[in-house]
Amino acid sequence: MQRFNQSELLKRLPEQFFASLVAKAKKLKDEGHDLVNLGQGNPDLPTPPHIVEELNAAAGDPLYHKYSPFQGFPFLKEAICSYYKREYDVELDPNSEVAILFGAKTGLVEISQCLLNPGDTVLVPDPGYPDYMSGIALANAKATMMPLLVENDFLPDYSTLHPSTLQEAKLMFLNYPNNPTSATATKPFFDETVELARKHNICIAHDFAYGAIGFDGEKPTSFLQSDGAKDVGVEFYTMSKTYNMAGWRVGFAVGNQSVIKAIELLQDHLYVSLFGGIQHAAAKALLADQTSVTELVATYQRRRDVFIGGLNKIGWKVPPSKGTFFVWLPVPPGYTSEQFSEMLMEKAHVVTAPGNGFGSSGEGYLRVGLLDSEERLLEAVDRIDKLNLF
């Protein structure tokens, strides 16, 4: 069989760091071991029934059996605007400030291709969501990392960026509540970001995937709540985390009109929008009673309290996470992130994600997903305790 070489574009793509982790976990599972898998970010609970029912009803509508409008149905864009007004008191124009996405990941990869030319500079959080780097590689741009350090509450310190870097930068990625550190950002931080972006003509891409998941009564802040944010950037939102709709692949970008136009232009050449029934159900989710979201956040907070409380009892001192469904665990002295993660998997059969997989500044940490029952989280704590490490 003839073998065809991959393009240089594909060769630029970063390797999937966690592929070996997944393979090792699969091997142990195939051998019959009971794994508590806390290493992934796939929501474990089902989509709320009222959203599923809406899709079931919409699937029979012949309107949705045709191609959808390339840029999405207006009713979904209007629902998104209503959602942002209700939740964040942010006004959006459905015709020019909203783009429908095949999940937020798509937009986070696309924006680099929309705005960057080969060699352009992008500011990227370290640690951060690995797929930011995928879009940067596809655009043949170059990344300058912004370390997220515990002493700065896992926020980038803009004063450490060289003036020439700020002048060269075309795009900056941010993500709060943050994956993987679970940190949250304040409005003053976003106000500072808007001023920086305006001064240096940098587009801000704020990944708000975990926007609904804040703990201890604290509602996460939208970047667009800062004055002038729409002048300098966009925010990416997904239905995956707020409504347990990860497999539905629906998200959106909102904000700066020129960026929204660029995203929609690129997507016009790639897609014929989402299945209309999914758009119909997504609009229902955004506009309906939000009790399911409140209950989901309460579930994650209980899991957080059970898991972190258990770790603290066995001597692994971990501060409470502020948002997302992740916990960012400091690795004990004497281990690298990968060494400790592998030991937990092999000796305790507890799967975690080593922090250096999210960037070099993630070294010294593990990311754990609160994506199993409280009983299984306590089982993981008990297994770790039996290793007598703390």
pLDDT at 192 (0 to 100): 98
pLDDT at 28 (0 to 100): 86
pLDDT at 117 (0 to 100): 97
pLDDT at 184 (0 to 100): 98
pLDDT at 278 (0 to 100): 97
**pLDDT tens for the 390 residues of the chain, in order:** 999 999 999 999 988 777 777 888 888 888 888 999 999 889 999 999 999 999 999 999 999 999 999 999 999 999 999 999 999 999 999 999 999 999 999 999 999 999 999 999 999 999 999 999 999 999 999 999 999 999 999 999 999 999 999 999 999 999 999 999 999 999 999 999 999 999 999 999 999 999 999 999 999 999 999 999 999 999 999 999 999 999 999 999 999 999 999 999 999 999 989 999 999 999 999 999 999 999 999 999 999 999 999 999 999 999 999 999 999 999 999 999 999 999 999 999 999 999 999 999 999 999 999 999 999 999 999 999 999 998
pLDDT at 26 (0 to 100): 87
pLDDT at 86 (0 to 100): 98
Query: What is the signed CA dihedral for 359, 361, 365, 369, rounded to 10 degrees?
Result: -40
Look at the alpha carbons of 324, 42, 156, 176 in this order and tell me if their dihedral is positive or negative: negative
Q: How many CB atoms lie within 10 A of CB 149?
A: 15
Domains within the chain, CATH numbers bracketed: 9-46+291-385 (3.90.1150.10), 49-287 (3.40.640.10)
pLDDT at 15 (0 to 100): 83
Closest CA to 142 of 165, 126, 128, 122: 122
pLDDT at 113 (0 to 100): 96
Residues 6+ apart with CB under 8 A from 60: none
Closest CA to 246 of 210, 270, 216: 210
Query: What is the signed CA dihedral for 261, 102, 175, 117, rounded to 10 degrees?
Result: -50
pLDDT at 307 (0 to 100): 97
pLDDT at 23 (0 to 100): 85
Query: Helix, strand or coil for residue 156?
Result: coil
pLDDT at 333 (0 to 100): 93
| Tokens encoding 101 | 């996405």
